Structure 1
Amino acid sequence: MEERESTEIKVARFSSCRGVAFEINPNRSNPFAIGSPTKQGRVGTWIWLPWTRNNSFKVLPQPHAISPTQSRASSHFCDIDIDASDVEVEFIAEVQDVEKPDKANGVKVKKLVPKTDLSRRSRLSVILLDQGFTSYKGLFLVCMALNLVALALSAAGYYPYAKTRTALFSIGNILALTLSRSEAVLRVIFWLAVKTLGRPCVSLRIKTATTSFLQSVGGIHSGCGVSSIAWLVYSLVLTFKNKEKTSPEIIGVAFTILSLILLSSLAAFPLVRHLHHNVFERIHRFAGWMALILLWLFILLSISYEPNSHTYDLTISKVVKKQECWFTLAITVLIIIPWLSVRKVQVSVSAPSNHASIIKFEGGVQAGLLGRISPSPLLEWHAFGIISDGKKEHMMLAGAVGDFTKSLISTPPKHLWVRTMHFAGLPYLVNLYERVLLVATGSGICVFLSFLLQPSKADVYLIWVAKDIELNFGREIRELVNKYSKEKVIAHDTSISGRPNVAEMSVNAAIRWNVEVVIVTSNPEGSRDILRACNRANIAAFGPIWDS
């Protein structure tokens, strides 16, 4: 007698779009060397979605790309049907079909077994180790190297200016890391890049290099963060060697600042950040604010302290002459700017299924921008791609993978906190190119839909792979896609046609449509596979990185 054993456990799944680094190869070669996991000898098929009876979509043949597996109940919503909203990290139940021999009867029995610890390790390795050498890591190393060289020269006596201004170097690194994360500054930089380099006369190599740099500025943020700690430690070591020239109050404040920055850096460590994102966000925010307040106190105490009399004498003339004051003022302004745009606004939330919700806001938004929303602005913010025709309203598609996104379905709010200053990311850089292939899985489609609804500098093509498209995402989203040119869309419903080889599908489409670049929003493994396939085919491709 055959027995079917079934077990299901919850394993860590990272649904953050910040999972896989870009890979760039602008020179194109024969893509047919890419191996397909499907069996050889299969013929191409035409795939028609349920709503294509009126020829609203033309879905192109995908030779060797379709795996005719039958979809199960959607524990895989964040796999092929991924929520690609920013920084959402949750535990998703996942099971895996494995055929195992039944020892008693000598027959094979299909068993639902949990993915092993290797799966969890491999998901984290995708985020951290399985990317190769990226621009993010390159920028991190450059920042670290420059600071370590300056530190070494200072310690050796060859750079006396740095030895006497260690606090300035630490604050300078904090200013650099703040600039590299300022959404206002980056919005201007992205706009300038598109305006100056988004011209046909600019070479593809320059455009892809610019994209890789702008996507990876987080490397400057983290590199300068670690460097600021190094300079602060060095400053404290020198202070202890000359205790008579400072006061216990100044040393105490400096130690507290160092402790807060260390705490903030540890909270940003990838393992902590992905498994406990809310903890990371709150520590990073509140520890940073407290460190900034104490930094002002440290500067004012240092400027006003008189070592001979062991007293404090603070005057305006002393303050305005110190570079440390101006650097700290710039940091303070950059941190305050986003909070000036925070508003509580009326929203309309609908749920086409228990897998996703659609949040609507007033006002049109430019294509490629992202926005942040929050139920409690001091505690948490969630970033999503914005869908808009650029006219009267915009909306966000939120996959239900976390407590907040699930609450949008169970108890739809009438008001949410928003930052009216939207920010630019990788999708905005579509405007740099002339012909672009956008590849999305699941609710990752939301970040691309504006390019289908608004006139764009780029000629845009789309591949969307998702499960139960109309059932999970609703008729409205389906109709938005349906409005776009049927010759430029491949929509694949995995509940009907099985799970495809999205990597091979993407390469074939990129060659067919002769695009300059492929831009992906998927889960870490999916993005990695597509980017590697494009790399082997020498097609420029970009996908989300864990700290973009």
Structure 2
Amino acid sequence: GKRQIRPIRVVRHTIFNVYRRLFSIVLIANVIALVVYLLNSSGVLRINIWNLATASSANIFVASAIRQDYVQGLLYRCAWLIPHSASLKMRRIIAKLYENGGIHSGCGIAATMWFLALTVLAAIQFSHGVFTSRPLFTLTCCLQALLFVITISAYPALRTRYHNNFEMSHRFAGWIVIIVFWVELSLLATATANMESTSTGGVLAKQPSFWFLISTTFHAILPWVNLRRWEFQADHLSNHAIRLHFSQTVSPFTGIAISRSPLFEWHPFATMPSLAGEPTGGSLICSAAGDWTKDAVKNPRRYYWVKGIPKPGVLGMCLIFKQVVVVTTGSGIGPCLSILASPIRKTACRVLWSGPDPEKTFGSEITDCVRRVDPRAVIIDTKASGRPDMLALTYSLYLECNAEAVFVISNPKLTRKIVYGMECRGVPAFGPIWDS
């Protein structure tokens, strides 16, 4: 049964999930640091703008670094070192590592907060003649406006409703912020050098914000260095789904993002290894869900762009458990197969898969693969039997096989419902989050 009273369950498992806890810790720590710094200053007109720039650039650096493919891969690989003999409580905590997006969001808001303090301070000092550079003050205001655009467009409700606009504003405004930050840093260093009768380069080299900005610039460029055009072979599974095969070798349990227009939109997919009798390489399953995927199913391209390094997703965390229940609906079976079909997987898996006529929609190869992994897999045809009570079935399967955890890949509503329902019963449950 459920372990706590409803208000506590709601706060613990929804309002204050791990993502939001990380977000809150990062933001509160920055707020405290800013308040302490301002209280300990010897007056508004004497506050050193460089210190505020350093705090802002440090947060921007962390926000960009935590999102890097190589950092995500490293975090997962560290988690995979945890043996199955470790306590379930420890492994349950470590498995939540995939919710580290809270650090990205928290640092992004904190960077905007620090820079807002810098902008207000610059305005006060400018009005008192302490801060005299008009171009520098103008750039500061422009940079603040850009940070506001990035922050506001990333608000969950707006991001979901206007996702393409969010993606472009986040990318292009982010690049412009870095460029403007470089110009501003150079102007600030020049002004400081003139006052101290020293070189601009010498001033920059002494400033942490300079080195943070170098690292942030490196991280902005790095994924594009790995931009490649891959060839895909389309295998039409049905009118609603397509399987795209590629010859490149990717690490087990990882996913890639593909695009027709690299500058504008990217679509992530989990990869699965080649099945028995297929050429080496891998594949991904694309199901007609949105405008882009519907067009991809109807008119698949021979070539798509792939950026960055293949990185693990939430399902990668199932490897630190001895036995798990994998719950999915419809095309969610694609990401699940990245784990289920892996020949090096040591985790025992039970599968609960619900969808409209799965064998007809995704083909016998896919359903046969699922049954090879779990001969007793529960595959439900919702066209024939209607939509089942997935929460009840999940809990029943969890108890039946004495699993250690439940992993859910479905639409946001059902994923949250099952994860919440399991967590309330003390069952370790994991699924994608849509907050980041």
Matching residue within 266, 288, 298 for 2:174: 288
* C-alpha distance in 1 between matches for 2:30 and 2:424: 36
CA distance in 2: counterparts of 1:307 and 1:468, whole angstroms: 71
Partners of 1:347 and 1:361 within 8 A in 2: yes
Per the alignment, residue 94 of structure 2 pairs with 210
Flag the 1:302–1:517 CA change in 2: closer, same or farther, 3 A: same
Identity of aligned residues (%): 29
- Structure 1 residues 148 and 384: alpha-carbon distance in aligned structure 2, compared to 1, 3 A threshold: same
2 CA distance for matches of 1:332 and 1:260? 17
Write the letter of the residue equivalent to 2:242.
S
Q: How far apart are the structure 2 equivalents of 1:420 and 1:156?
A: 43
SS in 2 for 1:499: coil
1:470 aligns with 2:359: yes
Separation in 2, partners of 1:329, 1:420: 19
Amino acid corresponding to residue 527 of structure 1 in structure 2: T
Matches within 5 A, 1:399-438: 399-419=287-307, 421-438=309-326
**How many pairs align?**
419
Q: Compared with structure 1, are the counterparts of its residues 269 and 395 closer, same or farther at alpha carbon in structure 2 (3 Å cutoff)?
A: same
Contact 1:301–1:312 (CA under 8 A) maintained in structure 2: no
Structure 2 distance, partners of 1:528, 1:446, is: 19
Counterpart contact for 1:373–1:382, Cα < 8 Å: yes
Once the two structures are TM-superposed, the CA of residue 539 in structure 1 deviates from its matched residue by 1.2
Given the alignment of the two structures, is residue 360 of structure 1 paired with residue 245 of structure 2, yes or no? yes
Query: Normalised by the size of structure 1, how large is the TM-score?
Result: 0.72
Q: Aligned pair 1:174/2:63, yes or no?
A: no
- Using the TM superposition, give the Cα deviation of residue 318 of structure 1 relative to its aligned residue in structure 2, in angstroms: 2.7
* 1:496 maps to which of 357, 362, 384: 384
Residue equivalent to 2:425: 537
Q: Say whether the 8 Å CA contact 1:462–1:490 is kept in structure 2.
A: yes
What are the within-5 Å matches in structure 2 for residues 109-128 of structure 1? none
CA offset digits 1:364-403 (Å, max 9, x no partner): 4333211100001011100011111498121111111222
Q: Of the candidates 329, 339, 342, which is equivalent to residue 451 of structure 1?
A: 339
Q: Which amino acid aligns with 2:354?
A: V
User: Could you give the per-residue CA deviations for residues 436-484 of structure 1, whole angstroms, max 9, x where no partner exists?
Assistant: 1111111011111132222213122211111111222223322322332
Give 1:321 shift. Answer: 1.9
Aligned to 2:34: 151
Q: Could you tell me which amino acid in structure 1 is paired with residue 114 of structure 2?
A: W
Cα distance in structure 2, aligned partners of 1:543 and 1:193: 17
Counterpart Cα distance in 1 of 2:114 and 2:393: 49
For 1:201, the equivalent position in structure 2 comes to 85
Q: Tell whether the 8 Å contact from 2:84 to 2:320 is kept in structure 1 after alignment.
A: no
The answer to whether the Cα contact below 8 Å between 1:184 and 1:338 also exists between their aligned partners in 2 is no
- The unaligned stretches of length 5 or more in structure 1 are 1-29, 32-127
2:265 paired with 1:380: yes
The 3-state SS of whatever aligns with 2:417 is helix
Alignment of 1:59-74 (within 5 A): none
Q: 1:159 offset after TM fit, Å? A: 9.2
CA distance in structure 1 between the partners assigned to 2:282 and 2:339 by the alignment? 13
The answer (yes or no) to whether the contact 1:367–1:428 under 8 Å persists in 2 is: no
- Corresponding residue number in structure 1 for 2:140: 254
SS at match of 2:14: coil
Q: Distance in 1 between matches of 2:120 and 2:418?
A: 49
Matching residue of 1:241: 124
Alpha-carbon distance in structure 2 between the residues aligned to 1:427 and 1:315: 49
For residue 75 of structure 2, what is the aligned residue in structure 1?
Answer: 189
On the 8 A contact 1:349/1:408 being kept in 2, the answer is no
CA contact (8 A) 2:324 2:403 kept: yes
Of 355-364 and 241-250, more deviation after overlay is shown by 241-250
For 1:245 and 1:477, the matched residues in 2 are separated by 66
Q: Secondary structure at the match of 2:373?
A: coil
Q: Which amino acid aligns with 1:540?
A: P
Q: What is aligned with 2:232?
A: 347
State the match for 1:397 in structure 2: 285
Q: Cα gap change, 1:464/1:366 in structure 2, threshold over 3 Å: closer, same or farther?
A: farther
The amino acid of 1:380's aligned partner reads E
1:111-140 CA-to-partner distances (Å, cap 9, x unmatched) read xxxxxxxxxxxxxxxxx9992321111111
The residue that corresponds to 1:46 in the other structure is none
Say whether 1:300 aligns with 2:191: no
Which SS does the other structure have where 2:170 is aligned? helix
1:271 matched to 2:157: yes
Deviates more, 1:135-144 or 1:533-542: 533-542
User: Is 1:226 paired with 2:112?
Assistant: no
Aligned residue for 1:335, secondary structure, equals helix
The alignment partner of 2:220 has SS state of: helix
Equivalence for 2:219: 334
Q: What letter is aligned with 1:478? A: T
Distance 1:307 1:194, change over 3 A: closer
Q: Is the 8 A contact 1:153 1:159 kept in 2?
A: no
Q: Distance in 2 between matches of 1:344 and 1:179?
A: 25
Shift of 1:485: 3.8
- Structure 2 distance, partners of 1:178, 1:325, is 15
Instruction: Find the residue that maps to 1:305 and give its secondary structure.
Output: helix
Shift of 1:300: 1.1
Distance of 1:159 and 1:229 partners within structure 2: 24
Partners of 1:460 and 1:312 lie apart in 2 by: 68
SS of match in other structure, 1:245: coil
2:7 — aligned with what? none
The aligned amino acid for 1:261 is L
**Amino acid in the other structure paired with 2:366:** I
Residue pairs, 1:99-118, within 5 angstroms: none
Point out 4+ residue stretches in structure 1 off by more than 6 angstroms.
none
Q: Which amino acid aligns with 2:340?
A: L
Contact residue 451 and residue 460 of structure 1 kept, 8 A: no
The whole-number CA distance in structure 2 between the counterparts of 1:159 and 1:466 is 65
Report which of the two has the higher share of helix: 2
Kindly provide the amino acid, as one letter, of the partner of residue 110 in structure 2: S
SS at match of 2:354: strand
Which structure is higher in RCO with an 8 Å CA cutoff and minimum separation 6? 1
Which residue does the alignment assign to 1:8? none
Deviation at 1:246, TM superposition (A): 4.1
Rg bigger for which structure? 1
Cα-to-partner distance string for 1:9-47 (whole Å, 9 max, x where unaligned): xxxxxxxxxxxxxxxxxxxxx68xxxxxxxxxxxxxxxx
